[in-house]
Structure 1
């Protein structure tokens, strides 16, 4: 594995930390309330809640 440290793969650990930050950021009410009507909000957040497509925002 690349960059293995005491706790395992450093890259995967950092990716997990950044993913958590991105999801926390996107889940804030200030952003959630911007999507109207309710079914649009549900569609947007169902995509986010699937857990995919988080590499690009986590790298930025």
Structure 2
């Protein structure tokens, strides 16, 4: 039983790490879009990011 719980814990932790890394890359993309193109693309990107977080 302990081995099964450990495997499940590793799987969940790996999924959380991937999700947080994806959000980090999305935030970096928003900053780059703001610097390169102004606020309009950033507002669109923030809206899409909010949909991803809620979903």
Please indicate the TM-score interval, normalised by the length of the shorter structure. Answer: 0.5 to 0.7
1:1-59 CA distance string (max 9 Å, x none) = xx5318x632221111111111112212235534x352332111221133167xxxxxx
| Number of residues of Structure 1 aligned to a counterpart in Structure 2 | 49
Structure showing greater relative contact order (alpha-carbon pairs closer than 8 Å, 6 or more residues apart): 1
RMSD of aligned C-alpha atoms? 2.9
Q: Give the equivalent residue in structure 2 for 1:30.
A: 32
Give the TM-score taking structure 1 as reference length: 0.50
- Whose strand fraction is larger, Structure 1's or Structure 2's? 1
Larger fraction in helix = 2
Unaligned runs of 5+ in 2: none
Structure 1 unaligned blocks of 5 or more:
54-60
TM-score for both structures, normalised by structure 2? 0.53
